[in-house]
């Protein structure tokens, strides 16, 4: 397939095998026996990320699936609709695993989740993680933490997921153990890699080769709190980096300051959000963190229907700087996290953030926004 439109050559179906940086040429693979190569002045690598598939005996069985691409999603839907699936095992407990847990429970399927790490959502403060765990078990999913998975067996009737201390009979297995950056082609071409082997890029999205850019889940980013490289593959950064590369290639210099690690996901009725560093990440980055965990409410005292909002906030004892916020609740969490996210970009202290003028009306929160209450409490420890 080869099309031209507005000066763009589309070489669909030609997987790129190699980047030849000296000749500034992309040497292609063959499709129907036809090799190709394409010269470039500037090259963008936007290869994304690839699901991590554990080296697990039996992972190749039909009924064992991953979810990353649209095609994967369609395959899972097709599998579910073409037979009677009563139960499923999900290996992994990250965003995707939890979202799939909700989707499968909604279809009335029994869900068992297992992973080797004994800590549930290890990046989340423990009391907040407990709230999320409760939501999942309340919705009928079974969680097995600290269970190394040994093998997947096809016993004719169905599948068996064999863990260290238990064996689960199941109709299907979903492997959702994270992704890794698709950076092999860059590494082979001698381009520098960063954290998690993501392609290292500067604030203009240039790799170590000034004519080669990288953007999206394959590339790293600066973290605005640590000023160090990080790899947090999320949609906004990927999208923003793509636009920035287009600008930079076309001669309009754009620099991206970096990411704050802001993220949110929904699982059953809960919203779980974070921005910046957890306490443990703050220690690892050389800060001297203090942390508070508070419980507030989603509506004013006098307003009916309030639900708890749990907030953890981390600040630096040495400088008073705000380092990170995490939040869990049934309403008012997903966008509430953005106020501290902006504060992280502005390198605010906890005290400065505590003085910000946040919105209040009884249906939407207490007079003191839960973020402000957390900041006021954290100030006492700084």
Indicate which single residue of 107, 187, 236, 283 sits in contact with a copy of itself (rule: CB under 8 A): 236
Please state the closest distance from residue 39 (CB atom) to a copy of itself, in A: 33
CA pair distance 381, 290, nearest whole angstrom = 6
CA pair distance 52, 177, nearest whole angstrom = 6
Q: Is 259 in the site for a copy of itself (CB under 8 A)?
A: yes
Indicate which single residue of 45, 179, 263, 313 sits in contact with a copy of itself (rule: CB under 8 A): 263
CA pair distance 303, 178, nearest whole angstrom = 41
CA pair distance 209, 188, nearest whole angstrom = 13
Nearer Cβ to a copy of itself (39/302):
302
Burial 191-220 (b: 16+ CB within 10 A, else e): bebbebbbbbbeeebbbebeebbbbbbbbb
Region of 14-22, 159-167, 210-218, 349-357 interacting with a copy of itself (CB under 8 A)? 349-357
Q: Which of residues 279-338 bind a copy of itself (CB under 8 A)?
A: 332, 334-338
Indicate which single residue of 49, 264, 292, 379 sits in contact with a copy of itself (rule: CB under 8 A): 264
Q: Is 233 in the site for a copy of itself (CB under 8 A)?
A: no
Question: For residue 294, how many C-alpha atoms fall within 13 Å in the half-sphere facing its CB?
Answer: 18
Indicate which single residue of 16, 46, 153, 234 sits in contact with a copy of itself (rule: CB under 8 A): 234
All residues at 6 or more sequence positions from 122 whose CB lies less than 8 Å from its CB, including other chains: none
Size of the site for a copy of itself (CB under 8 A): 52
Token pair belonging to 152: 């997947």
CA pair distance 43, 24, nearest whole angstrom = 9
CA pair distance 241, 151, nearest whole angstrom = 39
Indicate which single residue of 235, 283, 284, 317 sits in contact with a copy of itself (rule: CB under 8 A): 235
Q: Is 346 in the site for a copy of itself (CB under 8 A)?
A: yes
Q: Which of residues 143-172 bind a copy of itself (CB under 8 A)?
A: none
Catalog residues that contact a copy of itself under the rule CB under 8 A. 224, 234-237, 239-240, 256-266, 271, 273, 275, 332, 334-343, 345-346, 348, 352-353, 355-361, 363-365, 367-369, 371-372
């Amino acid at each position: 397939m080869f099309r031209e439109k507005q000066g763009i050559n589309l070489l669909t179906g030609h997987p790129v095998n190699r980047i030849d940086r000296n000749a500034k040429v992309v040497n292609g693979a063959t499709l129907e026996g036809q090799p190709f190569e394409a010269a470039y002045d500037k090259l963008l690598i936007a290869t994304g990320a690839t699901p991590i598939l554990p080296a697990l005996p039996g992972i190749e069985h039909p009924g064992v699936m991953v979810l990353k691409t649209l095609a994967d999603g369609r395959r899972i839907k097709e599998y579910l609709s073409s037979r009677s699936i009563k139960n499923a095992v999900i290996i992994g407990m990250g965003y995707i695993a939890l979202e799939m847990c909700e989707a499968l429970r909604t279809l009335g399927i029994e869900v068992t989740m297992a992973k080797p790490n004994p800590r549930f959502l290890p990046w989340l403060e423990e009391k907040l993680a407990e709230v999320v765990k409760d939501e999942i078990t309340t919705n009928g999913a079974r969680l097995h933490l600290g269970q190394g998975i040994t093998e997947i067996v096809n016993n004719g009737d169905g599948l068996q997921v064999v863990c260290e201390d238990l064996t689960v009979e199941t109709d299907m297995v979903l492997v959702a153990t994270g992704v890794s950056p698709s950076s092999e082609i860059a590494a082979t071409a001698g381009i520098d890699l960063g954290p998690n082997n993501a392609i290292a890029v500067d604030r203009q999205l240039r790799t170590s080769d000034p004519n080669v850019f990288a953007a999206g889940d394959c590339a790293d980013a600066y973290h605005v709190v640590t000023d160090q490289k990080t790899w947090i593959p999320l949609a906004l950064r990927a999208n923003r980096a793509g636009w920035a590369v287009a600008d930079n290639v076309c001669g309009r210099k754009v620099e991206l300051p970096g990411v704050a690690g802001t993220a949110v996901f929904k699982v059953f009725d809960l919203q779980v959000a974070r921005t910046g560093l957890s306490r443990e990440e703050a220690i690892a980055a050389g800060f001297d963190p203090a942390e508070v965990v508070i419980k507030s409410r989603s509506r004013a005292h006098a307003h009916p229907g309030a639900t708890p909002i749990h907030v953890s906030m981390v600040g630096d004892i040495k400088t008073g700087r705000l380092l990170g916020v995490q939040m869990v609740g049934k309403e008012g969490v997903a966008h509430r996290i953005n106020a501290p996210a902006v504060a992280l970009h502005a390198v605010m202290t906890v005290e400065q953030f505590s003085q910000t003028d946040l919105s209040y009306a009884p249906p939407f929160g207490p007079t003191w926004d839960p973020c402000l209450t957390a900041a006021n409490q954290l100030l006492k420890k700084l």
